[in-house]
């Protein structure tokens, strides 16, 4: 999938110019989020334990290849990208890099285990698909208001507030899932028979959606925070390095979350988020007291899809990426 995204984004970069770059990024982000959201509804076409949904996905991939195979345009030429070492990123912005690392643990768990959580809570397939759609759309819609405030105030404070609110929504989700806080840590809860009929699905879905709305913009917030401390020409290189940091956390996220869910029951799903959000809050408060915030007028918050690659980050017009096909008069 990453290979596919890199190829798609390289084509978009090759076709965009400085006048259309922002529009291309916005449209690409909308299509990506829309596809993620609507794709979850395909769960209702056939039982997920059967082979038909996988055949359908294969057919959709094949159909998506047709426009590329029919085009007469020459493929884009890959250009060498500069890079910034991971350790240098931690020196440039310790909190931004650490928060990006923790965000990897959070994002990967949201996108890989949300359906597992819903299934263990005995939700029907239709409700599971609606929950997944809500999670994805919240990640898209909440980016704009949160990004607006992050450009007006200390970005570190916005990240800390988002993490604190997300922790609150985690506890509220546990409360309305039908499990009491005391029961969460009982040893025999691995049997998954502790929740009762008192589950309030509307409130549970609402708080999970709000949880996603607070956490999914963290990727773009962290990227903008690091960009606040570097010159414009290094934005893309910093984005590439932060993708590596994010990926390191994302690889371990589902493993840790699944262990917690196996140990404490389905609500171990939220316990996973609470742990890493708590790390972000504590380290963020520490860094606020150690370093004065420096505003960089060249760095602005840009909503980005969670699957964006270093090639895709070049679509951000604020990076000032030098493209070979820039319009010449």
pLDDT in tens, 241-288: 888 899 899 999 999 999 999 888 889 999 999 999 999 999 999 998
For residue 212, pLDDT over 80 is answered with: yes
Which residue matches tokens 């799903």? 269
pLDDT in tens, 250-259: 999 999 999 9
The band of 227, judged by pLDDT with boundaries at 50, 70 and 90, is confident
Sequence length of the chain is 329
Instruction: Give the residue-averaged pLDDT of 298-317.
Output: 72
- pLDDT of res. 326: 42
- pLDDT of res. 47: 79
For residue 107, pLDDT over 70 is answered with: yes
DSSP string, 2-21: HHHHHHHHHHHHHH--TTTH
- pLDDT of res. 195: 45
Best-predicted range by mean pLDDT among 39-48, 75-84, 182-191?
A: 39-48
> Which one, of 133, 42, 95, 124, lies nearest residue 245 by Cα?
95
Which of the two residues, 134 and 329, has the higher pLDDT score?
Answer: 134
Instruction: Give the residue-averaged pLDDT of 184-193.
Output: 45
Instruction: Give the residue-averaged pLDDT of 88-104.
Output: 92
User: Can you give the pTM of this predicted structure?
Assistant: 0.80
Q: How far apart are CA 196 and CA 175, in angstroms?
A: 12
- pLDDT of res. 320: 61
- pLDDT of res. 172: 92
Q: How far apart are CA 35 and CA 17, in angstroms?
A: 25
Percent of the chain at pLDDT exceeding 90: 31
- pLDDT of res. 191: 44
Best-predicted range by mean pLDDT among 26-40, 80-94, 102-116?
A: 102-116
For residue 187, pLDDT over 60 is answered with: no
User: Are 44 and 125 a contacting pair, CB within 8 Å?
Assistant: yes
Reduced to 3 states (helix: H, G, I; strand: E, B; else coil), residue 300 is coil
For residue 206, pLDDT over 70 is answered with: yes
For residue 83, pLDDT over 50 is answered with: yes
User: Are 131 and 119 a contacting pair, CB within 8 Å?
Assistant: no
Write b or e for each residue in 58-81: b if 16 or more Cβ atoms lie within 10 A of its Cβ, otherwise e: eeeeeeeeeeeeeeeeeebeeeee
Q: How far apart are CA 85 and CA 159, in angstroms?
A: 24
Domain 2-319 sits in CATH at 1.20.1250.20
Q: Is 131 exposed, middle or buried (0-12, 13-18, 19+ CB in 10 A)?
A: buried
Instruction: Give the residue-averaged pLDDT of 38-67.
Output: 86
For residue 92, pLDDT over 70 is answered with: yes
> Which one, of 164, 201, 167, 188, lies nearest residue 272 by Cα?
167
R_g (Cα) of the chain, nearest Å:
21
Q: How far apart are CA 151 and CA 116, in angstroms?
A: 36
The band of 325, judged by pLDDT with boundaries at 50, 70 and 90, is very low
- pLDDT of res. 199: 77
- How far from 145 is each of 64, 152, 162, 218, 312, CA to CA, in Å? 33, 11, 12, 13, 22
Q: What average pLDDT does the chain have?
A: 82
The band of 182, judged by pLDDT with boundaries at 50, 70 and 90, is very low
Q: Is 270 exposed, middle or buried (0-12, 13-18, 19+ CB in 10 A)?
A: buried
The band of 323, judged by pLDDT with boundaries at 50, 70 and 90, is very low
User: Are 35 and 100 a contacting pair, CB within 8 Å?
Assistant: no
- pLDDT of res. 322: 54
DSSP structure class, residue 68: H
């Amino acid at each position: 999938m990453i290979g596919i995204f890199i190829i798609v984004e390289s084509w978009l970069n090759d076709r965009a110019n400085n006048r259309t770059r922002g529009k291309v990024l916005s449209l690409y982000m909308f299509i990506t989020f829309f596809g993620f959201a609507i794709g979850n509804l395909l769960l209702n076409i056939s039982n997920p334990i059967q082979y038909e949904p996988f055949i359908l996905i294969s057919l959709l991939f094949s159909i998506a290849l047709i426009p590329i195979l029919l085009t007469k345009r020459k493929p884009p030429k890959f250009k060498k990208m500069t890079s910034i070492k991971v350790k240098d990123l931690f020196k440039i912005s310790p909190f931004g890099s650490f928060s990006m690392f923790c965000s990897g643990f959070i994002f990967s768990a949201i996108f890989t285990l949300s359906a597992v959580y819903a299934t263990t809570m005995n939700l029907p397939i239709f409700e599971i698909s609606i929950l997944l759609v809500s999670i994805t759309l919240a990640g898209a819609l909440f980016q704009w208001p949160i990004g607006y405030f992050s450009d007006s105030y200390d970005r570190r404070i916005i990240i800390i507030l988002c993490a604190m609110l997300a922790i609150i929504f985690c506890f509220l989700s546990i409360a309305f899932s039908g499990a009491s806080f005391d029961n969460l840590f009982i040893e025999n809860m691995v049997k998954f028979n502790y929740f009762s009929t008192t589950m309030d699905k509307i409130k549970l879905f609402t708080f999970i959606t709000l949880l996603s709305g607070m956490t999914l913009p963290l990727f773009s917030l962290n990227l903008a925070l690091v960009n606040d401390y570097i010159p414009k020409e290094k934005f893309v290189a910093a984005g590439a390095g932060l993708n590596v940091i994010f990926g390191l956390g994302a690889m371990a996220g589902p493993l840790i979350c699944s262990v917690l869910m196996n140990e404490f029951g389905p609500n171990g799903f939220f316990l996973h988020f609470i742990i890493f959000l708590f790390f972000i809050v504590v380290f963020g408060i520490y860094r606020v007291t150690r370093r004065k915030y420096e505003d960089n007028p060249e760095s602005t918050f840009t909503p980005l899809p969670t699957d964006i690659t270093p090639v895709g980050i070049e679509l951000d017009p604020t990076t000032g990426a030098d493209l070979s096909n820039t319009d010449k008069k």
